[in-house]
Structure 1
Amino acid sequence: MIFHDPLAIRLLGDEADAVLACADAPGEQGFRQFMAVRSRIAEDKLALAVRHGVRQAVVLGAGLDTLGLRNPYAAEGLKMFEVDTPRMQVWKKRHIAEVGISVPDLLTFIPVDFEKESVKTGLVQAGFDLHRPAFFSWLGVTPYLTRKSIQNTLSFIASIPQAELVFDYGEPVENYQGLGRLFMEALERRVALLGEPWVSRFNAPEMATMLAEAGFRTVTDFDRARIFSYFGWPQKSGVGQASAHVIHAAV
């Protein structure tokens, strides 16, 4: 098992069966596996950060992420902050109440529109300490934001002492080949029809430059080959091809 989330099915509620059926459809399994991979890497890095004394963590663009609700480090006093759009947070809080999941005392919801409002301001108003180390998780978000918004967020995170960040990004669709290209083109059309088109995708050198300019000193880019190595999976054909990436960056 790559990743275990005891609240995921409960959070889906009545929609669980339909969502799982779609996730098992042809072509979707690899995408589902990547979502598990990125969460596993993020929570592995969070565990190390907590071990080193970090006591505040931020989930940016949380969506249906359950990390704040699960908080594996509540006993250590880890404060969790969830940042997302006001509309999403209203829906999520109502939904978790409907399915009977309680909100931990150490979790704070912060409504912020990344394109229009300051993440920094929202966090400070909610009690986040700018002068203490922090861990940031930012999964499944950057493709939907402008490059300016991404750069601003990266620069803010890099201003936090001993900050660590795990996030993911996608390569340009034209980098893909064969069936992978067809799947990515279909997925691109689908998210656009849902009103959430992909806005920003990056080649690895572009992302490395953006992170360096923001102020991150240590960066590990988990491409397909590095992900296989991280989990001890045997390398197979296609490992060198285009893929989604997971970044672990630290200042």
Structure 2
Amino acid sequence: MAEGFLSFPIKLLTKSKKFRAKGKAKTNESTPGVYEHIIARTLFFDEVFTQALKESIPQIVFLGAGYDSRGIRFKHLNNSTQIIELDMAATQNRKIKCLKKNKIKIPEYLTFTTIDFNNQSLESALTSAGYQKGKRTLFIWEGVCMYLEAQSVRDTLTFMLHYL
């Protein structure tokens, strides 16, 4: 599914074992261990997400969802969980466009909504997406904080502390 988010030239390059190996080597050269870190982080969050689905947690919220595809990849495990993905408008619009272009059906339980964490209220964005305050919720906030202002991070953590 990830290939659906890549441009055509990059798709072609990723099919080359030589190109992938060189890319991995360059990445490890400039930031040692980051490749393994991303693999481990992805596997960890896959496990947390699938466990939440198995437990039928009512809501899962992705803060800064980017091109995350767990809501679709693990649809076979979802019995009743509402999934809300929040991100910048440009990212959400491109993601939806790529899914449609690749004929990937967006499940009814998956809601995309936009937010600029530095300038908008998390509560209002979630409320507009159907978030139900007080219901058990898993928040996934993966690889986002470093792009936000410190106050936005504090506000988001405060929201999760008080509105769960």
Fold shared by both chains (TM-score > 0.5): yes
Displacement after TM superposition at 1:90 (Å): 1.2
Displacement after TM superposition at 1:141 (Å): 0.8
CA contact (8 A) 1:81 1:110 kept: yes
* More contact order relative to length (CA 8 Å, sep ≥ 6): 2
* TM-score for the superposition, normalised by structure 1: 0.55
- Counterpart in 2 of 1:101? 104
Q: Which of 156, 159, 162 is the equivalent residue of 2:162?
A: 159
Displacement after TM superposition at 1:51 (Å): 4.1
CA contact (8 A) 1:134 1:160 kept: no
Displacement after TM superposition at 1:119 (Å): 1.4
Q: What is the aligned-residue identity percentage? A: 26
1:11 matches 2:2: no
Displacement after TM superposition at 1:81 (Å): 0.6
- Counterpart in 1 of 2:126? 123
1:26 matches 2:26: yes
> Aligned equivalents of 2:77 and 2:53: distance in 1?
11
Q: Which has the larger share of helix?
A: 2
Displacement after TM superposition at 1:149 (Å): 0.5
1:80 matches 2:83: yes
* TM-score for the superposition, normalised by structure 2: 0.82
Displacement after TM superposition at 1:58 (Å): 0.8
Amino acid at match of 1:9: E
Amino acid at match of 2:11: A
Where structure 2 has 5 or more consecutive residues not aligned to the other structure, the ranges are: none
CA contact (8 A) 2:4 2:98 kept: no
Decide which moves more: 58-67 or 14-23: 14-23
3-state DSSP class of the match of 1:110?
strand
Q: Which has the larger radius of gyration?
A: 1
Displacement after TM superposition at 1:154 (Å): 0.8
CA contact (8 A) 1:11 1:99 kept: no
3-state DSSP class of the match of 1:135?
strand
* Per-residue Cα deviation, 1:57-90 (whole angstroms, up to 9, x for no partner): 0111111111122244654211111100011111
3-state DSSP class of the match of 2:83?
strand
> Aligned equivalents of 2:104 and 2:111: distance in 1?
15
| Number of residue pairs matched by the alignment | 155
Amino acid at match of 2:25: A
Q: Which of 137, 148, 156 is the equivalent residue of 2:140?
A: 137
CA contact (8 A) 1:58 1:137 kept: yes
Q: Give the root-mean-square deviation of aligned CA atoms.
A: 2.2
Amino acid at match of 2:6: L
